[in-house]
Chains A and B, each alone.
Chain A
């Protein structure tokens, strides 16, 4: 098995005057969850289409499961499952017929077909309603059925475009758990397009942030958070004299300290024990009422990168 399920080299796609994807180079490890974050129109869906061999790149190349997406597109699609932007369900048909059709498409052996359909529909609480036309179902139920269809043939690589859109919080959490289990137990690789930063943070081993077709950052969530800034302490209290603040600044682990009213904000180096600092403050006569330690969230990282890139683009213009 290849070390990387997906590898792209300067993958680009132009649509007449618009560059939808601009030299995307990523490597997604086999058996991991890759989260692709970006605002609407950033190039996430185009990337999935290119990786599935549905579109041809203008420049660059991509390999999926060790196969070239241009010359071996049929073989790529053979091993992938996809839940795309739209759920793609035949709404006039029943849930069972939808899955029957795709199980025939994926050539599941006849005896296994029924077993697999029952297994998936039961797991997603849809078995009792399998004979109903999908058209009358709620959006969340349709989304679950589309997920079942994507998993039907046990693909090695799963492309998911906003899979939890329309799901209630409990169903979304269950889907996230299912995905985590799939990755852990069956070694499936997941390529996840999402706007849901909390979901990405919880589920993804690797995250790519894209804007206007350009990859702005790529790495593990912890790496991205670290790139965005160091942890900080916000201490509320009294007695933060200039001498006390100077004592703080003399310590190597303290990068900066700023006093506003009764709130002292201290920027820390990474991996610092905060208990010693608090003890020092108390020992110096400060009266500490509350201590809050914060890290940059993925949302901070995302917004920071996207806005920074926007500013640069506007400056260049």
Chain B
């Protein structure tokens, strides 16, 4: 099973890299992302950037954006390019195909996030190190790494669910864009709240224990990720996938 998942991930990675040949094929987008999050922002913020809680929030969204950009293609792309039926007619089990596709999306999003983090660390050390090795405080470092992993998983799980049902890559991308907007609705709504209600929210938030809040958030995220994975496993049905082919 593990070998089959790795085989599936190998194929997904080859396709992803084949798709991104040349700067115009998508590498430039990745380079810009790494340049902004790994070079520009650390340079502007200075050494405090390593220990600021906002850093966690910033890095948490990077894998979401990255995974979202590729995951729509997972099943909808195979369906559109007529490769799905041959794949389903192979000896690969349902789980190997599903986990391979989810795994590839997570590794892509999380892997590039980790590279970005390393670039940021190198930038801070070069610009502000003054001969001393600067690192993330342990708690923040662990939180960023685990949170970015869980967010990558969230985006992959959500994307796979949408891609499994979508008739085309375009449709999957549109649905995922809507989901993406939906996640930001609280941020858009906050400024629209009456002043009294906003003050109440601020009072509530400032009174919270961030450590407990962080743990609760990670635990909830893990639960949501597991629910999405279970839903994708339930939804993966060879007959349904075959019959939904164009």
Contact = CB atoms under 8 A, between A and B. Distances in A.
Co-complex (A, B) = yes
Interface of A: 15, 49, 52-56, 74, 77-78, 80, 82, 84-93, 97, 101-102, 104-107, 133, 149, 159
Contacts of A49: 242
B211 interface: no
A105 B14 contact: no
Contacts of A149: 86
Given A54-B239, A88-B83, A97 B91 contact: no
B11 to A, nearest CB: 5
A91 B81 CA distance: 9
Most buried by B among A82, A105, A133: A105
5 contacts: A89-B83, A91-B81, A101-B7, A105-B7, A159-B89
Interface string B76-101: 00000111011111111100000000
B182 interface: no
B202 interface: no
A91 B93 CA distance: 23
Given A77-B91, A90-B11, A54 B82 contact: no
Given A86-B86, A104-B7, A54 B14 contact: no
B2 interface: no
A61 B90 CA distance: 21
Interface string B197-220: 000000000000000000000000
Given A54-B89, A88-B85, A89-B83, A101 B14 contact: yes
A134 to B, nearest CB: 10
A93 B15 contact: yes
B242 A102 contact: no
Contacts of A54: 85, 88-89, 238-239, 242
Contacts of B85: 54, 84-86, 88
A84 B242 CA distance: 12
Interface centre among A52, A90, A93 (most CB of B within 10 A): A90
A105 B8 CA distance: 8
A78 B18 CA distance: 29
Contacts of A97: 14, 18
B81 A74 contact: no
B177 interface: no
Interface in B146-204: none
Contacts of B93: 74
Q: Is the interface of B mostly helix, strand, loop or mixed?
A: helix
Interface of B: 3-4, 7, 10-11, 14-15, 18-19, 81-83, 85-93, 238-239, 242-243
Nearest to A80: B89
- A56, A74, A88, A97 interface centre (most CB from chain B within 10 Å): A88
B89 A105 contact: no
Contacts of A105: 4, 7, 90-92
A55 B7 contact: no
Nearest to B6: A104
A86 B89 CA distance: 12
A89 B84 CA distance: 10
Contacts of B10: 101, 104
Contacts of A88: 82-83, 85-87
Contacts of B4: 105
Interface core residue of B18, B83, B89 (most chain A CB under 10 Å): B89
A85 B3 CA distance: 29
Contacts of A91: 81
A169 to B, nearest CB: 25
- Most chain A CB within 10 A, of B3, B19, B86, B88, is at B86
Contacts of A87: 82, 86
A56 B3 CA distance: 28
A101 B96 CA distance: 14
A97 B11 CA distance: 8
Contacts of A107: 3
A159 B92 CA distance: 17
Given A55-B239, A88-B82, A133 B89 contact: no
Nearest to A94: B18
A74 B11 contact: no
B90 A77 contact: yes
A93 B242 CA distance: 23
A317 B178 CA distance: 50
Contacts of A92: 15, 18-19
A90 B82 CA distance: 9
B15 A106 contact: no
Contacts of B88: 54
A133 B18 contact: yes
B239 A84 contact: no
A133 B15 CA distance: 11
B27 to A, nearest CB: 15
A90 B14 CA distance: 10
Contacts of B15: 90, 92-93
Nearest to A92: B18
A84 B85 CA distance: 8
Nearest to A15: B243
